[in-house]
Amino acid sequence: MPDTPPSLDSVQLRAYFALMEVAGLLRHAVEQQLREVGDLSYVQFQLLARLGLDSSTGSERMTDLADGVVYSRSGLTYQAGLLEKADLVTRTPSPDDERAVTVTITDAGRALLAKVLPGHTEVISRQLFQPLSRTDAKALADLLSPVRDHMRAAPPRSAAPRRRRR
């Protein structure tokens, strides 16, 4: 017998909806700023940021990039193609694994990232952190970090047969 379906109480619902709406609105706001200043989509910015800021070497394998950005592989191939065409990254076969492709940010990529970053943080500051105190920000980070780790660890569901899209 299956467990009783755990329904959400009103507080949880509030938190869930607020979370999704804030993330959506924030993404929209950021997207607009990125487009204006650097002609970048949010995904492209995420990729550059991950390469230029998170990675100490400036390189990552395609798969790791895709996972980090919560993105499909084929979509990443497409975007990596665009970024490469714009000379913001290079793609080279990995030395240790012939199948893998290493994506590396170029100087131009770093330059664009630097150009875009101030406005980006400005939007985040104003839109997200304006209503939050320093303490609030810490509380938020402390609440969400475990959730992120939990979700990373627990894949949503075992693969199931796909139906045709509606």
Contacts with DNA in 52-91 (CB under 7 A)? 61-63, 66, 71-82, 91
- Least Cβ distance, residue 93 to a copy of itself (angstroms): 25
Strands (E), 27-112: 59-61, 89-93, 101-105
- What token pair was written down for 129? 């952190």
# binding residues, DNA (CB under 7 A): 28
Cβ proximity to a copy of itself, 93 vs 139, nearer residue: 139
Binding DNA (rule: CB under 7 A), the pick from 57, 98, 135, 158 is: 98
145 binds, among DNA, a copy of itself, none (CB under 5 to 8 A by kind): a copy of itself
Nearer to a copy of itself, 99 or 162 (CB): 162
Output 95 or 146, the one with its CB closest to DNA: 95
Phi-psi region at 55: left, alpha or beta (left = phi > 0; alpha = psi -120 to 50): beta
**How near is the Cβ of 71 to DNA at its closest, in Å?**
5
CA distance 135 to 123: 20
Comparison of 101 and 117: residue with beta carbon closer to DNA? 101
d(CA 159, CA 64): 20
Q: How far is the CB of 132 from a copy of itself (least distance, A)?
A: 7
Pair 30, 124: CB distance under 8 Å: yes
Rounded-to-integer distance, Cα 34 and Cα 48, Å: 12
CA distance 30 to 103: 24
Binding-site ranges for DNA (CB under 7 A): 41, 43, 61-63, 66, 71-82, 91, 94, 97-101, 162, 165-166
